[in-house]
Chains A and B, each alone.
Chain A
Amino acid sequence: MGDHLFEFLLRQGDNTLILSHRISEWCGHAPIIEEDIALANIALDLLGQTQMWLGLAAEVEGAGRSADDLAMLRDAWDFRNSILVERPNGDFGQTMMRQFLFDAYHVELLNRLVSSADERIAAIAAKSLKEVEYHVERSASIVIALGDGSEESHARMQAALDDQWTFAGELFETDAGDHALNDAGIAPLPSELRAGFNARATAVLGDATLIIPETTFAHSGGRSGKRHSEHLGHLLTQMQWLQRAYPGATW
């Protein structure tokens, strides 16, 4: 169970860490000041959640590592985030589409985790849920606005959806560890979250006048750690640069 729990916590913390990192790349480069500020808020929320998830992961592991050690000193194959969040930002539309797809999953997950049998997880979920309810409200509005907006924004949002849809499926992948945690009342099966996600995605993407791709194919390999995309390694070379270049230094 300990291994499954550790793995589960890494999946949460790595998703928020890597997505936060990607969003933070927008800082100073967003389409308008108001969006720059809003994106930074989302990145900050996710970073705060990362500290909680990876902090608990480190505690559960009991190997003397800290949340920072987990973030800064693991190599790509030890990361457990889904591939969706490690993909490059693309244009603002792709960033917001990825955000909406992740938020729509994230809010379903946290809604279930608030009643986790593990109180530490329930507490992190309760704090995160308040933030993520706002994230999904905001990303949904922007997806709707840009999908419905101009000819160009519509085309870009449809392209973003076509590009990202097959990466959303991995969020619902369910393995033996998930079953073990579900049996213990700690976490829901990811597959159970799909219906709520689909309902929200269908409504929002419909309002956005976008068409969900018909494919049922889903990319895979991030949350199991078996095969990340090439992008993660490059992200880590930036994120971990100082810790790797000056081992043991205090900052």
Chain B
Amino acid sequence: MYAQMVKSENTDNGPELDAFQVRIDAGEKIEPKDWMPAGYRKTLIRQISQHAHSEIVGQLPEGNWITRAPTLERKAILLAKVQDEAGHGLYLYCAAETLGVSRDELTEMLLDGRMKYSSIFNYPTLTWADIGAIGWLVDGAAIMNQVPLQRTSYGPYARAMVRICKEESFHQRQGYDIMMKMAQGSDAQKRMAQDALNRYWYPSLMMFGPSDKESVHSAQSMKWRIKINSNDELRQKFVDQTVPQAEYLGLTVPDDNLRLNPETGHYEFSEPDWSEFFEVLNGNGPCNKERLEARNKAWDDGQWVRDGMMAHARKKAARAAASQVAAE
């Protein structure tokens, strides 16, 4: 997901912790000033900022096609969508900031590699069909996770997710719409669409992270209601939803083992190559280097702008104070 492999820590004990758990179990929202276990706070900071980082880095693969969008309307839609992602990053950073970290600190941890973002954004967008595939598959996978997170236990996070889910409702549809046009288009467009599905299918399955049935981290996060479903559960739901959509497009999911189990009503499918997933997380994905370089460049090149505007704000405040003194 946008937050993958988040380590959950629990170091607190005692009556506070018990009372805290009672509140969570009762479905109460935890708010910034409420007592919370240090582990809950730390885990949330990790998870929310990883999600925020993913939105910000996620601007890049799609932004890669804004200047090449095929029509004025497609360009406007794509630009609006990538802009939404920046907005969602902003909302999520704000939610993380309620936990006592600053956005600049989090940004620096992304830029020097101390914090991660979703593996999916380290894959390249090579054709216009990739923009369709990302909307359809990547946003589709993200929604699986984000909808339940609207009910997460931490108030600011839940409220950010509500806003995000509302704004994202058009993202998956625009992706599917691109795919439909391509699938109904010329032979070259059909090939492009199939190629995009081939390349994005397994990376999309990886977004949910490896199976976490046995994971203590996941168990703790679920107990705290900062993780609502298991990775396998969400992955299965995604496959069940996506395969018929691919069939409607006349595209083939690149998995020879894919079949509908009539007894369970669920699709059986091949696992992605998890060694590739871990390589990508460790910095060896196709675009890790480019993505971090681009973000670092934007941040470094922007330093004088942020500093300059702050310097002006201080001067202006000083001038206002001085003229007030003069008037008195």
Contacts and interface: CB of A to CB of B under 8 A. Distances in A.
Contact, chains A and B (beta carbon distance below 8 A)? yes
Interface of A: 17, 21, 24-25, 27-37, 40-41, 43-44, 47-48, 50-51, 54, 67-68, 71-72, 91-93, 142, 144-146, 148-150, 152-154, 156, 238-239, 241-243, 246, 248-251
A153 B67 contact: no
B304 A28 contact: no
Given A29-B297, A93-B305, A146-B312, A242 B90 contact: no
B79 interface: yes
Contacts, number: 153
Interface of B is mostly: helix
B179 to A, nearest CB: 11
A51 B142 CA distance: 32
Contacts of B67: 21, 24-25, 238-239
B188 A47 contact: no
Given A145-B312, A239-B67, A251 B181 contact: yes
B328 to A, nearest CB: 25
B142 to A, nearest CB: 18
Contact of A67 (B70, B72, B185, B301): B72
B32 interface: no
Contact of B83 (A37, A92, A150, A153): A37
B71 A241 contact: no
Interface size class of B (residues with CB under 8 A): 35 or more
Interface of B: 56, 59-60, 63, 66-76, 79-80, 82-83, 86-87, 89-90, 93, 128, 178, 181-182, 185-186, 188-189, 294, 297-299, 301-313, 315-316
Given A24-B75, A150-B311, A251-B128, A31 B305 contact: yes
Given A50-B72, A153-B304, 14 more contacts: A24-B79, A28-B59, A43-B79, A44-B79, A47-B75, A72-B71, A91-B301, A146-B305, A146-B308, A149-B310, A150-B311, A153-B305, A239-B68, A251-B185
Contact of B307 (A33, A93, A150): A150
Given A30-B302, A37-B83, A24 B66 contact: yes
Nearest to B71: A68
B190 to A, nearest CB: 11
B68 A31 contact: no
Which 4 A-B pairs have CB atoms at the shortest separation, nearest pair first?
A31-B302, A153-B308, A149-B308, A28-B59
Contacts of A146: 305, 308-309, 312
